[in-house]
């Protein structure tokens, strides 16, 4: 097995510790709201951020801090996005200063992030008051950190794998959050990846920038792009492999490992979408170009009518064709084939752009499962793409109808 799934999350790779605590940003004292990840030594660091013109202040500070391609710690709060605040940048810098004061890590080597309600003042006091507890508890606590970055997520999201590079065992682990305001064009929500692989900052950034186009950019819960989306990858080199400084076999293997991690978390994000009852996967094949395949897959996943039909287990394939038709890329609709799949089987519902006879009873059985694949064959080429999303439910409206209050 090329990649073996292991325990540990972001703490699986050598030299990384983490923790999460409740500091008081959230009124609910049961929920953790402050997380930290620390590397034993400075690590090559690459980031991608939201494309929204409205950006959280932590993004501006993080960009400054990782401009040299290195970082050593991550600090994240949940419950307050630190966005559209007059003193937001000052607060974000103070969070970095607190890391330096309590760990000795330079404040300029800190990635800072926030998630939660937009436009609410954020006080530094609860964060400062909990730093001693947060740092004292640093250890093999990836799960606590994953809990502390959650907002409306219902489950923590983490993953880790082991593999070999140049005869050395290498590990990669990640945590993420995000189940609403998810339709990025860069990365997605908050995701932090740690690896003990040795790679140059420029190669790591190249790898990350390429990867997000194939996985994280293909996730959508609700077509809204968050103001705080940040993805960060830290590689501290403690595995001892020969440093990757060019595109070679080791580069490609590490890139594959990163892809495996990202796809796993993309599926977790989509399945835990706000109010969701189903993970939807749109697999497009037979496209004339990779771009066409990606655009079509994302268009289907983004369609509110498709999402609502999937919630109701209604095999309304016309909505799928509709989403393909307005995707804005050249498709010969007369060639399109659509099927619905799940662990209950497969139902062909459309061939050559027209409906075919199928059992509504069988289709309903297929669509009632918690993971459903919408399979689209454009019969126009050899390219393919996959996008992930979820159904649109009454609960989504309820969650977002009173999210702030």
Please give the positions annotated as active site.
Answer: 188
From residue 261, alpha-carbon distances to 7, 16, 50, 156, 267 in Å are: 13, 17, 20, 15, 10
Burial of 209 by CB count in 10 Å (0-12 exposed, 13-18 middle, 19+ buried)?
Answer: middle
How far apart (Å, rounded) are the C-alpha atoms in residues 147 and 154? Answer: 10
How far apart (Å, rounded) are the C-alpha atoms in residues 191 and 178? Answer: 9
CA proximity to 307, closest of 154, 296, 316 = 316
Look at the block and give the residue holding tokens 């991550």: 74
Whether the CB-CB separation of 147 and 26 falls below 8 Å is answered with no
CA proximity to 16, closest of 70, 74, 64, 55 = 74
Whether the CB-CB separation of 278 and 310 falls below 8 Å is answered with yes
First to last CA, the chain: 48
CA proximity to 353, closest of 375, 335, 372 = 335
How far apart (Å, rounded) are the C-alpha atoms in residues 141 and 330? Answer: 49
Whether the CB-CB separation of 288 and 381 falls below 8 Å is answered with yes
CA proximity to 258, closest of 210, 290, 298 = 210
């Amino acid at each position: 097995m090329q990649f073996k799934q292991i325990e540990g999350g972001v703490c699986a790779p050598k030299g990384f510790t983490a923790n999460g605590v409740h500091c008081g940003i959230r009124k609910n004292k049961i929920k953790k709201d402050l997380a930290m990840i620390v590397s034993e030594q400075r690590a090559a660091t690459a980031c991608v951020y939201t494309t929204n013109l409205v950006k959280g202040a932590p993004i501006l500070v993080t960009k400054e801090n990782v401009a040299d391609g290195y970082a050593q710690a991550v600090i994240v709060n949940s419950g307050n996005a630190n966005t559209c605040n007059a003193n937001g940048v000052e607060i974000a810098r103070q969070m970095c200063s607190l890391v330096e004061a309590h760990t000795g890590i330079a404040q300029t080597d800190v990635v800072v992030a926030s998630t939660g309600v937009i436009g609410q003042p954020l006080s530094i006091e609860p964060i400062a008051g909990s730093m001693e507890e947060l740092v004292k508890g640093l250890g093999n606590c990836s799960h606590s950190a994953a809990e502390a970055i959650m907002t409306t997520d219902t489950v923590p999201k983490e993953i880790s794998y082991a593999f070999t590079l140049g005869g050395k065992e290498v590990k990669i682990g990640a945590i993420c959050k995000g189940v609403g305001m998810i339709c990025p064009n860069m990365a997605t929500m908050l995701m932090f990846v740690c690896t003990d692989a040795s790679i140059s900052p420029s190669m790591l950034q190249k790898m990350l920038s390429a990867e997000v186009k194939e996985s994280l950019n293909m996730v959508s819960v609700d077509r809204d792009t968050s103001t705080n989306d940040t993805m960060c990858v830290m590689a501290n080199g403690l595995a001892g492999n020969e440093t990757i400084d060019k595109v070679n076999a080791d580069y490609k293997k590490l890139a594959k490992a990163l892809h495996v991690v990202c796809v796993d978390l993309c599926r977790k994000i989509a399945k835990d979408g706000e109010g969701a009852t189903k993970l939807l996967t749109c697999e497009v094949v037979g496209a004339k170009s990779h771009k066409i395949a990606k655009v079509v897959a994302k268009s289907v996943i983004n369609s509110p009518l498709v999402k609502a039909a999937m919630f109701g287990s209604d095999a309304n394939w016309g909505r799928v064709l509709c989403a393909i038709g307005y995707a804005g890329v050249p498709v010969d609709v007369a060639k399109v084939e659509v099927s619905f799949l799940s662990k209950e089987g497969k139902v062909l519902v459309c061939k050559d752009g027209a409906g075919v006879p199928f059992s509504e009873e069988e289709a309903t059985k297929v669509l009632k499962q918690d993971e459903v694949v919408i399979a689209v064959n454009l019969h126009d080429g050899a390219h393919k793409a996959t996008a992930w999303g979820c159904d649109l439910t009454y609960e989504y409206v309820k969650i977002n109808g009173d999210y702030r209050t």
